[in-house]
Amino acid sequence: MARILILTTENSLEWVKQVEALPVEPCEYSFMVYQSLEHLKDIFLEQIRLVDGVLFSGQIPHFFVQQHFPDVDIPMLHFDVTQTDFYRALSEYMYTNRDFQLKRCLIDFLYEENNYLGVKEWTEEEDFPYIFDATMQSYADQQVYEKMTNYHVKLWKEGKIDVSMTRLSRLPDILKPYGVNLILVVPSQRSMVEKVNELLKEIQILQLIENQVVIAHLELSITRENFRDLEYKQMSLYKAILDFSRKNNMKFIIHQNTFFYEVITNYSDFKLITSDMESCKLVSYLSTELPFVVKIGWGIGNSIQAAQLNAEKAAHLCTTSETQSYILTKEAKLIGPLGSEDYIQVDTQYDSATEKLSAKLNTTSLQLKKIIAVMNKLQTNILSAEDLSIHLGITERAANRILKKLEEKGAAKVTTQQQKKLRGRPKKVYQLYLEEV
C-alpha cells in the first residue's frame, strides 16, 4: 500500500480530505498542515523519508518545494484546477451574472506553463483577463501570498475589476474586509482521482526502477608475477567487501569465482554507493584498505544474467594501475571512470556510422565513441594525450598511441599549444577530424 503525504493549508484541509473517499487504489494517507512556505520547508524535510509520494493542495507549494529542493527524487504532484474545473466555475458565474466581462476579471492561476487554461485561444488581446504573472517562476517567492493579496486589493480599489478568481483557499478570509468579489475555484473530485492515480503510477514506476538488478563485478588483476598471491588477495578482498557492507548497513549477496567476486545489491543501495552514478564509495574504500588493484564494473539489468554481463563488460574497461570503477546501464550507457569530475558517458549501442568509421580507422567503435565523448565534454576537437588519459582512465603512453594511430589514418593532425603559466616547450596536441575521414 502506497504511503502518500498530503501537504495543505488549514483552509484547504476540508476539501483535500475528500481524497480518503475517492474510488482509487487503497492508500495510506497522512495530512500535514503548514502555516507558511518557510514552515512547509521544515515539514517537507522531516516527512519525505517516511512516505512513497507527496501531494500538495495547490501549485504554489509544489512549485516552491521544487525550486528549493531540486535534487529530491520522490514522486510529487499537486491537486490542480483543470480546464474543465475552471470553465465550469466560470460558466456558473456567467449564468447568474449576465453583465460579466472577462477583461474586468482577475484570474490568479493563469500563466504560460498551464497555457493560460486555453483562455488565450478564444479571446482577443483587449478582452484578456488580468493575471498575477505570466510565468510560474514568480510563485516560488516566499512572499507570493502577500504579493498576490496586495495585487487583488489594488485592482479592486482602482475599480479595474468586478470579480476575482483564485485557487488560494486562504484568500477569501483575507480579502473579505476589502469587499472583493471573489470566486474560490477548487479541484473537482474527478480531477483529484486523476491526480492520485497519476501519482500512484509514478510511485509504481519508481519502485520498478528501485527493484532493478544491480551487480558489481570485482576483478583482481592477476599476472604471472603475482599469481602466487592470489589466495591472499581473494581473502583480503572478500573481507573488505564484508566490512564495507557492514559499515554502510547494506546487505550484499556475494558470489566467489577464481579471479573475481560478484556482489548483488539493490538499486537504492547502488545509488548511494555511486552517489547517483557520479563517484564510487567502494573504490575509495578498497583503495584505502587493499594494497592491490581491483577492477570494479557495475551492471544494471532487468535480469540477473543481463546485469552480470553488463558488470563484466564494465569491469574490463578498467585499465589503469589503480582501483577503478565503471557502470554499464541496461540502456547500454557506459559511465566512468567514477570518482573523477572528468568521467564521461558513452552510448555503447550499435551505430552504423560509427561502425563504418571504426573499420576505416582500424579501431574499435567503443574507443571512437569514448574519444567523441571526451571532445563533447571539453567542447573541442583539439585533444592532448593528457586529456584522453584523464577522461578515459588510461596512461598517457596509451593515450599517445591512440592519437598517433588516428594521425596515421588521417583522422588527426599534430599541432602545438603553449602551456599556460609554464615555460619551456609548447604542449603537443592533436586536432581531430573524425567526421571527415
Sequence ranges of the domains in the chain: 2-79+192-207, 83-186, 211-347, 352-436
pLDDT of residue 421: 45
Q: Is pLDDT above 60 for 254?
A: yes
Question: Mind listing the pLDDT tens digit for each residue in 211-241?
Answer: 778 999 999 876 666 667 888 888 999 999 9
Of 168-177, 188-197, 356-365, the range with the lowest mean pLDDT is: 356-365
Q: C-alpha 183: how far from its chain's center? A: 38
Of 125-139, 176-190, 383-397, the range with the lowest mean pLDDT is: 383-397
Determine the Cα–Cα distance for residues 248 and 24; give it in Å rounded to an integer.
Answer: 38
Q: How confident is the model at residue 425 (pLDDT cuts 50, 70, 90)?
A: low
CATH 1.10.10.10 fits 352-436, yes or no: yes
Determine the Cα–Cα distance for residues 216 and 298; give it in Å rounded to an integer.
Answer: 4
Q: How confident is the model at residue 419 (pLDDT cuts 50, 70, 90)?
A: very low
Q: How confident is the model at residue 21 (pLDDT cuts 50, 70, 90)?
A: very high
pLDDT of residue 427: 73
Q: Name the CATH topology of 83-186.
A: Rossmann fold (3.40.50)
**So what's the architecture of 211-347 in CATH?**
2-Layer Sandwich (3.30)
Q: C-alpha 264: how far from its chain's center? A: 24
310 Cβ partners below 8 Å, 6+ apart?
A: 215, 297, 298, 299, 300, 301, 328, 329, 330
Q: What is the mean pLDDT of the chain?
A: 87
Residue range 27-36: average pLDDT?
Answer: 94
Residue range 180-197: average pLDDT?
Answer: 94
Answer yes or no: are the C-beta atoms of 299 and 314 closer than 8 Å. yes
Q: How confident is the model at residue 357 (pLDDT cuts 50, 70, 90)?
A: confident
Residue range 361-366: average pLDDT?
Answer: 84
Q: Is pLDDT above 80 for 281?
A: yes
Cell of 149: 493579496
Question: Mind listing the pLDDT tens digit for each residue in 336-355?
Answer: 888 666 667 788 777 788 88
Q: How confident is the model at residue 183 (pLDDT cuts 50, 70, 90)?
A: very high
Of 59-73, 179-193, 372-386, 422-436, the range with the lowest mean pLDDT is: 422-436
Q: Is pLDDT above 50 for 422?
A: no
Question: Phi and psi of 297, rounded to 5°?
Answer: -120, 130
Of 85-89, 312-316, 368-372, highest mean pLDDT: 85-89
pLDDT of residue 226: 60
As assigned by CATH, the class of the 2-79+192-207 domain is: alpha beta
Answer yes or no: are the C-beta atoms of 78 and 167 closer than 8 Å. no
What are the helix and strand counts (H, E) for the chain?
16, 17
Q: Is pLDDT above 80 for 313?
A: yes
Q: Is pLDDT above 50 for 418?
A: no
Q: Is pLDDT above 70 for 41?
A: yes
Same fold, 2-79+192-207 and 83-186: yes
